[in-house]
Each structure stands twice: as C-alpha cells, then as structure tokens.
Amino acid sequence: MEEGFWDDIDNANQVNKELTSLKKIVNRCSELDSQISDNLELLNMLDDSDLEAIKNELPLLQSKVDELSKETLLSGPFDNLDCYLEIHPGAGGTESCDWASMLLRMYELYFTHNGYKYEIIDKEAGDEAGIKSVTLKVSFEYAYGYLKREKGVHRLVRISPFDSAGRRHTSFASVLVTPIFNKDIDIEVKESDLKIDVYHSSGAGGQSVNTSNSAVRITHIPSKIVVTCQNERSQLRNKEEAIKMLKSKLYEMEIEKKEAELNKIKGENVSINFGSQIRNYVLYPYKLVKDLRSGYETSNADRILDGDISELLDSLLKS
C-alpha cells in the first residue's frame, strides 16, 4: 500500500469501495465459471433419467448470468458513484407540486424496498399541496449508473383531485441526477462568485431532515446554479454539503460541454436531455406507464408509482 494512503480518509474510503466492488465481480465470475464447468462435467456422466437435477439449476445459473451481464452495462466513468437526485415541478402550481411529491414517494419506496441508503438534504413544501423542490443524497452500489437515465421531464395525465369539475389535467416535473465526485475536483469556486443566504429550515419533511435554523442556500452567480442544504443542524456542515453539490454540478457541466464539443467534431447530434420528456404516466382514461427511450411500458401504473421500478430501470440499461 502506498505510503500516506490513509492520510486522506475520504479518498482512501473511495478507493476501498471501488476495490471491494471489483473483487466482488471477479469472485462472482469465478464462482459462476466453476458452477458451469461442474454442471458440464456432470452432464457427461449422468443418464437421461438424472438430467432433471441439472435442469433445476439452470434458472438459478441464468439469473446469475443476467445479473453479471447487467453489471457490465454499468461501466460508465461515473456509474459507480453515489448521486444527488432532485425533483422540480413544472408550470401548473398545485397540480405539478403534487406530481413532484408523487415522484418523490416513488423513488423513496424504491430505495426502501431495496435497502438503499438515502437522505433528504433539502425540501420545500408546496403552498397548498406537494413540494416545490426536493434534493436527495443517494448512496448504494452503482447509484448514479442506475439513476442517471431518470434525468429529464416526467409527464402525468390524470383526473385532478384538486379540480371540483373533475377534469383531466396534464402535469410535468423534472428530475436531475448529478454524480457525487468524491475525489478532488479541479473546479475553482471563487467566494466572490457566490451569494450565500442563511434561512430557517422548513423542518421535518422526510427521512433525516432535522428541524434547524441553519439552512444554507448558495447561488453561483456566473452559472446561476442554486444549491440548498438543510439536513444538518450545523450551518457550517450545511454549507460544506452545498459547496460539494455545487462543485459536482459545475464539474458535470464541464464534462457535458466537452462531450458536446467532441460530438460536434464527430458530426453527431446528441442531446444531453435536459428538459426533454422521457416518460409518460397515464392514470386516465386508461392506465399506462411508458418510457419513450427504451419502449418499456406497463398498464400497472400503480405498481410503478409504488416504487417497483427495477424492471423499468433495467430496460433502460439494456437499451
């Protein structure tokens, strides 16, 4: 081990996390290879009447192969990182704010069902219902890899519970997903470029949100990026988390800018998908959830909104 490795605890933990993940994949590949080889040997030794025992193992082996195949698709440069997930309602007032809160519930149930760690670091309630904005910090293996394709506009069609005439409404909410760059980011943030506001926290609004008087909002004047954090009781800790989020957003912006320039040189017309509609959720006059990129669709919209989105996310990986 390199001398001074443990001097930077954050970096050391990140390296260990990557090493553990790689070891796990290598061990699983080795174990699977061994199982397949053993079964092939057995096939040559057994009579036809004994083949049932081997057949029973095939679904399990296929499941393991599928799982490893899926992980090979999570090979993007930042796929193994944790991420920030933000939800912002579109125009439409109470309708859109309520739709944003439905999306928040969907993601929270998905994380909870799978045992994934997350915390709400900022949340602003809507005036009448729902939320005006929310930011979650999500931590699990390949968090960014799984969630990055959620970035974009999500469209809901339903009979409005807020319309006394019972009319059909269409609502929009945008989802942003930013990787958390744990290693040193070569991004200079000048204090003179920042507008820092301290305000009272809105109080408990979900998992891990504390009631405090130390919420921090930072506006990066050149880029107009705004980040907020209110989950810590310490104003200093909230500021540190907000600065970390800002740096991650600025770094991602630089990467996307370079990719856009490269695609222009190569003659490719590639959209970054900010502001593009990616998925429809229809609750009336029929029920349907359809992703416009992978083509995945299901009439069981309630199941999707109750957080059962693993199949949907897998379809995006494979597409």
pLDDT tens digits along 105-137:
999 999 999 999 999 999 999 989 999 999 999
Domain range list for the chain:
5-72, 83-318
The answer on pLDDT for 274 being more than 50 is no
DSSP 287-299: -EEEETTT--EES
- Give residue-wise pLDDT tens across range 17-60: 667 766 776 776 777 777 677 666 666 666 665 566 666 767 77
Of residues 42 and 282, the one with the higher pLDDT is 282
Structural domain 83-318, CATH architecture: 2-Layer Sandwich (3.30)
Confidence of residue 151 (pLDDT cuts 50, 70, 90): very high
Among 100-104, 118-122, 266-270, 280-284, where is mean pLDDT lowest?
266-270
pTM: 0.76
